[in-house]
Amino acid sequence: MNFVELLGFTAGVFSMSMFVPQIYKTLKAKSAKDVSIQVFILSAVSNSLWTAYGIISIKPAIIVTNVVIFILAIIQIILKVKYDRADKLSGN
Amino acid sequence: MNFVELLGFTAGVFSMSMFVPQIYKTLKAKSAKDVSIQVFILSAVSNSLWTAYGIISIKPAIIVTNVVIFILAIIQIILKVKYDRADKLSGN
């Protein structure tokens, strides 16, 4: 692996780990009221486009990063929908 | 601009716009209690690395996207710190 791809994978690890604290915080609080769902929908769309960009440009760091973040964004969307529904049912 | 860079800039617009709804929601609610600050710190770090990656790979879409998101992440961090401090002072 050359220096540029190593740099890309390092950047990718930080990008991927960005989504983990929010998922953890949501799971712990069992609430995501202040969390904007649009962020994660926009993320899923942009990750799909960046994955296409990475495939065409043959940039493995971009492909791997965006596929992983796409999955994490979908998890956060599911949690947001789940907890917002629970909040509504409990009257909060 | 070739097709790949156009795709990159389109992906970039979605990536950049990801950060706008959360900033808007934070400003409107004047609260960011459920928002994880780590996300935006990790974003700022990853954006710096991706910017370096974009410069070395000569990928304008990557450079522009990450410079803009870096600035948005810093704005969100400032808002989080400001509103969390206000919440503490008001006893929430």
What pLDDT is recorded for position A18?
85
What is the DSSP code (8-state) at residue B31?
A: -
- Residue A89 inside a domain? The answer is no
pLDDT in tens, A3-62: 999 999 999 999 999 888 889 989 999 998 878 788 899 999 999 999 999 999 999 999
- Residue A91 inside a domain? The answer is no
CATH assignment of the domain containing B71: 1.20.1280.290
Spatial contact of A82 and A30, defined as CB atoms under 8 Å apart: no
**Interface A-B: count of C-beta contacts within 8 A:** 100
Tell me the chain A residues in contact with residue B38 when contact means C-beta distances shorter than 8 Å: 21
Q: Could you give the number of structural domains in chain A?
A: 1
The amino acid present at B67, given as its one-letter code, is V
Instruction: Evaluate whether ipTM surpasses 0.95.
Output: no
Q: By residue range, what is the domain housing residue A45?
A: 3-84
- Residue A63 inside a domain? The answer is yes
What pLDDT is recorded for position A44?
96
